[in-house]
A and B are shown apart, each in its own frame.
Chain A
Amino acid sequence: MKYASEFRDPVAAKGALAAIERVVGEIGATPEKPIRIMEVCGGHTHAIFRYGLDKLTPPALEFIHGPGCPVCVLPMSRVDDCLELAERQNVIFTTFGDAMRVPGTKKSMLQAKAEGADIRTVYSPLDALELARRNPDKEVVFFALGFETTTPSTALCAQQAAAEELTNFSLFCNHITVPEPIKALLEDPYMELDGFVGPGHVSMVIGIEPYRFIARDYKKPIVVAGFEPLDLLQSVLMVLEQVRDGRADVENQYARIVPDNGNAVSIAACADVYERRETFEWRGLGEIDKSGLKMREKYAAFDAERKFEIGYGRPRTKYEEPEGCECGAVMTGRMKPQQCPQFGTGCTPDMPLGALMVSSEGACAAYYQYGGVRTQVESAE
């Protein structure tokens, strides 16, 4: 086994791989008509490549890489909005470092910073809040980005800002949610998926109930998974067993971290501060119903969209993806990263053209870094 030494428990990994091979056979999947499992979370995508799981599992099993990387699904127009905010006089624009290199239609935040815009990367929205306290004569805007893992942090910061009656702190809210794009993918007639490996840390916040519709309405299995390679293999096996047995359930492989009901404090804070937008745009996937969050009316004073009249709520100009960029097709599983004409030539991790190459959790960056092309099946010996 190529990466055997990197498994904490090689014997268990070998057992799981053998079981996966057996069940894939029992299902009757073949390399020509493989069973297709989507790992929703970008962290899982990264782990699958890092540990070579795509090569260790049989060729009749195909991993489809889901939209679970918030940086990768960020539309260029939202980056443009960030730049417009950041280039205003008197604004300190704060963001997670991950977003700095995402291309807008004209430039990235990294380029804008080099040109003099006051853009600061912070580790936490708490740091943006502290900047607001220390700079009462400046407007501090935090780029609130991410799935349910980061949403509680910005919600709690908004509550804290309200409690302190800060008047110079606001959030540019771009939070998105995991279940809705899964629904959109299941509605897509070109999408052929047999089951899902669900995100671990997102589920730690929201619990497993929000995935119920996948099993109930679409009759597909989903197993919430941890990040260790053995967690992933066991979760894949659980999905395969459901498929073989004709079941569709929500199962929790990561119960040691993920309570079925999620985290009550987080859920309450998010519900207090945020409500769903009617629709939100995803790069490569288009508008998805109810998939984005906005700030509730009672937090209007902390909402950069309202405060600076930017983003949703004002007429938007249409923009075009860069020529030859196939992020959308890759994101929906219609194309493999290396089939994109720009892959590795016009688009590399150092000079990303499309968003999937920006983050290490993007499918293209993972393919690029780990050579995720299945050239031959490695022996599991």
Chain B
Amino acid sequence: MCLGIPGQIISISDATKKLGMIDVSGVQREVNLACIMPEDGNIDALIGEWALVHVGFAMSRIDEEEAAKTMEVLLMLGEAQEEIEAMRRSQLAMEKNG
């Protein structure tokens, strides 16, 4: 919850609401991209970029190397596993309960 987890933006799902899909170690979910919007407003430019994600919000753009290094530390601390599991469970619960 307190540490951001790195992921790669793979598509834009709702340009108006500034939402896109992000891939975090193979788990994909929708995140809010408002805090990392390019200055020219072209949200599509974010596709392929890496970002630190806090509780479903991309908070900072990072490069791929930084993403890898951050993920390594989070895995070591066990925080990445917790975060990814929370993502997965939340997704499943939403699908199940409707």
A residues neighboring B (CB under 8 Å): 6, 8, 41-43, 46-47, 50-51, 68-70, 96-98, 120-127, 130-131, 134, 145-147, 149-150, 152-153, 156, 160, 201, 204-205, 227-229, 256-257, 263, 265-266, 269, 360-361
How long is the Cα–Cα vector from A130 to B17 in the complex, in angstroms? Answer: 13
* Cβ-defined partner of A150 (8 Å) among B54, B78, B89: B54
Return chain B residues, CB-CB under 8 Å to A125. 55-56
Q: Which residue of A lies closest to B74 (CB)?
A: A227
Shortest distance in angstroms between B19's beta carbon and chain A's nearest beta carbon? 8
Return chain A residues, CB-CB under 8 Å to B17. 160
How long is the Cα–Cα vector from A120 to B57 in the complex, in angstroms? Answer: 20
Return chain A residues, CB-CB under 8 Å to B57. 124, 126, 152-153, 156
Give the size category of B's interface with A: 35 or more
Given contact pairs A46-B77, A121-B89, A126 touches B56 in the complex (Cβ within 8 A): yes
Return chain A residues, CB-CB under 8 Å to B77. 43, 46-47, 50, 360
Given contact pairs A121-B90, A265-B37, A149 touches B73 in the complex (Cβ within 8 A): no
B1 touches A98 (CB 8 A): yes
Return chain A residues, CB-CB under 8 Å to B54. 149-150, 152-153, 201
How long is the Cα–Cα vector from A343 to B91 in the complex, in angstroms? Answer: 36
B residues neighboring A (CB under 8 Å): 1-4, 17, 29-32, 34-35, 37, 52, 54-57, 59-60, 62, 66, 69-70, 72-74, 76-79, 82-83, 86-87, 89-91, 93-94, 97-98
How long is the Cα–Cα vector from A42 to B3 in the complex, in angstroms? Answer: 9
Return chain B residues, CB-CB under 8 Å to A47. 73, 77
B1 touches A146 (CB 8 A): yes
How long is the Cα–Cα vector from A145 to B1 in the complex, in angstroms? Answer: 9
How long is the Cα–Cα vector from A41 to B59 in the complex, in angstroms? Answer: 18
How long is the Cα–Cα vector from A211 to B34 in the complex, in angstroms? Answer: 26
Q: Which residue of B lies closest to A154 (CB)?
A: B55
B70 touches A201 (CB 8 A): no
Shortest distance in angstroms between B27's beta carbon and chain A's nearest beta carbon? 10
A201 touches B56 (CB 8 A): no
Q: Which residue of B lies closest to A124 (CB)?
A: B56
Q: Which residue of A lies closest to B19 (CB)?
A: A126
How long is the Cα–Cα vector from A338 to B54 in the complex, in angstroms? Answer: 32
Return chain A residues, CB-CB under 8 Å to B35. 152, 156, 263, 265-266
B59 touches A266 (CB 8 A): yes
* Cβ-defined partner of B3 (8 Å) among A97, A130, A201: A201
